[in-house]
Amino acid sequence: MVLLAGPGVLISTFCIGSLLKLTFPYNWDWKTSLLLGGLLGATDPVAVVALLKELGASKKLTTMIDGESLMNDGGVIIAEGVLSGQKISYEGNSWGFLFLLYLYVQLSRCVVVGVLYPLLRRFGYGLDWKESIILTWSGLRGAVSLSLALSVKQSSGSSYLSSETGTRFLFFTGGIVFLTLVVNGSTTQLLLHLLGMDSLAAAKKRILEYRKCEMLNTALKAFENLGDDEELGSADWHTVITHISSLKDLERGQVNPHNGYEAGNLDPTNITDIRIRFLNGVQVAYWEMLDDGRITQSTASVLMQSVDLVSTEALCDWRGLKPCVRFPNYCKFLQSRIIPRKLVTYLIVERLESACYISSAFLRAHRIARLQLHDFLGTSDIASTVFNESEVEGEEAKQFLEDVCDSFPQVLSVLKTRQVTHYVLNHLNGYIKNLEKVGLLEGKEVSHLHDVVQSDLKKLLRNPPLLKLPNVNDLIATNPLLRAL
């Protein structure tokens, strides 16, 4: 993204400006030519991203183009300011030059992507040749270019740009915006289809088939609950299902929900896709624990980073958490008499509490994600592979908590007390909101009860339950995690 937004804008500005200077008959100097080149150097983030999302392009490609579009706006504005100094007529014979300028814009985009392709392929998200073609063709122009052209047009006449040149700038910029949106925008779907980038992967198709079967089962359960009542009688299921387009073509028992996920289909691509979905579930579980007060903001940040650093080869998010759980080497110097005993005890207990928070949250998030994946894929072989990886990942975290429980159970007790207190207060908040929703409480009553709960939450944050600090020598002697130092 930085490559496209920085050097990419400069290359595009120079290419378009040079072609304008050498081929257009307006006797523009280099500064004027490069100014128009700079105006046309920014792609439109809204148009590009909306188009790619609608056409089902990959998240990686969409994110890269979106980032480029957002970041290069600043570069183009700077280029416009430098080259206009304070700078911005339409003629009938300019139409031909407009189409020629459109070709120049596409050519400059090809040059930018081509020159930067070796770097784009090796750094950042990585880019293959198909994605580079889409990146080249999806360089739509939009609001930023038009805004800068209007600014130049408004200031023309009072700067070194004539009013006629300012009008030409606005005409060419508006024309390029129109042509890129109409031509490039309308043909991107065809290009994605020709490159085979608009179709779902085999693993995702199987997931969709499985979810369709589960949707049918869910619909049947909903019909059992709502299909008959005392007031209106029964409903006709066959009529109901004809109005549900995603279900009406399915017959119960016709689809095997685990088809395609058996042992012979443990394709690396499929497993990678399931791992990504599993880790997405882990991250969602971390967010929910943060909202429930089970973990602190700093703990949540560490846990999220561990998921972001995971490779696709196998689950290894615990690897990123080990440095936060293990006690650093400097702890061996804490027994020195130079350091106050209370400070030593505080540092050790603080580190121990943080490690317990991380370990327990890790195990809970993985357990929740396994249950969700089981509901999502059932007991297929590909799901079992990810389950086993998750179980192996949690062994060291379990052992750590067992050691703490054996040698220093007060820490776990205090952490659990904090979690339960926070959870109960959040539950009371939800209870008050529900009473208001059903009309059993009025505004002043809701406000009073809400203030009471919020006051308790603030007190909990300011003065959480604390661990009674033991003697530092006893702490180190009884804790196997510290005794090894």
Whether 189 and 245 map to the same domain: the answer is: no
CA neighbor of 129 nearest in space, from 110, 147, 145, 146: 110
DSSP track, 191-252: HHHHTT-SSPPHHHHHHHHHHHHHHHHHHHHHHHHHSEETTTEE--HHHHHHT-TTTTT--T
Whether 394 and 375 map to the same domain: the answer is: yes
Could you tell me the residue range of the domain that residue 62 belongs to? 2-194
For residues 109 and 188, give the distance between their C-alpha atoms in angstroms, rounded to a whole number: 15
Domain end position, chosen among 163, 194, 225: 194
Whether 226 and 344 map to the same domain: the answer is: no
Burial level of 44, CB count in 10 A (0-12/13-18/19+)? buried
Report yes or no on 385 lying in a domain. Answer: yes
Whether 230 and 89 map to the same domain: the answer is: no
Q: Tens digit of pLDDT per residue, the chain (485 long)?
A: 556 666 777 888 888 888 888 888 888 888 888 888 888 876 665 555 555 555 555 555 555 555 445 444 444 444 444 454 434 344 556 788 889 999 999 999 899 888 888 887 877 666 778 888 888 887 777 777 777 777 877 776 666 678 888 888 888 888 888 888 888 878 887 887 888 776 666 656 666 766 777 777 777 777 777 766 666 677 776 777 777 766 665 554 444 444 444 434 455 556 777 888 888 889 999 998 888 878 888 888 888 888 876 655 678 888 888 888 775 554 445 455 555 555 555 556 677 778 888 999 999 999 999 998 888 777 777 788 888 889 988 998 888 888 878 777 777 777 788 878 888 888 888 889 888 888 888 888 888 888 888 888 888 777 777 655 555 455 455 555 444 44
Whether 403 and 369 map to the same domain: the answer is: yes
The whole-model pTM stands at: 0.54
Whether 48 and 130 map to the same domain: the answer is: yes
**Residues paired with 380 in a beta bridge:** none
Exposure string over 308-321, b if 16+ CB within 10 A, otherwise e: eebeeeebebbebb
Domain end position, chosen among 143, 175, 194: 194
For residues 235 and 232, give the distance between their C-alpha atoms in angstroms, rounded to a whole number: 9
Whether 105 and 229 map to the same domain: the answer is: no
Report yes or no on 92 lying in a domain. Answer: yes
Domain end position, chosen among 174, 194, 214: 194
Report yes or no on 263 lying in a domain. Answer: no
pLDDT in the model for residue 309? 67
pLDDT in the model for residue 366? 93
CB atoms within 10 A of CB 218: 12
Q: Which residue has the tokens 């050519």?
A: 107
pLDDT in the model for residue 132? 83
Whether 41 and 65 map to the same domain: the answer is: yes
The alpha carbons of the chain give a radius of gyration, in whole angstroms, of 31
For residues 109 and 333, give the distance between their C-alpha atoms in angstroms, rounded to a whole number: 59
Whether 116 and 30 map to the same domain: the answer is: yes
Whether 337 and 369 map to the same domain: the answer is: yes
For residues 249 and 8, give the distance between their C-alpha atoms in angstroms, rounded to a whole number: 49
pLDDT in the model for residue 363? 93
Whether 157 and 214 map to the same domain: the answer is: no
Report yes or no on 262 lying in a domain. Answer: no
Whether 312 and 241 map to the same domain: the answer is: no
Quote the number of domains for the chain: 3
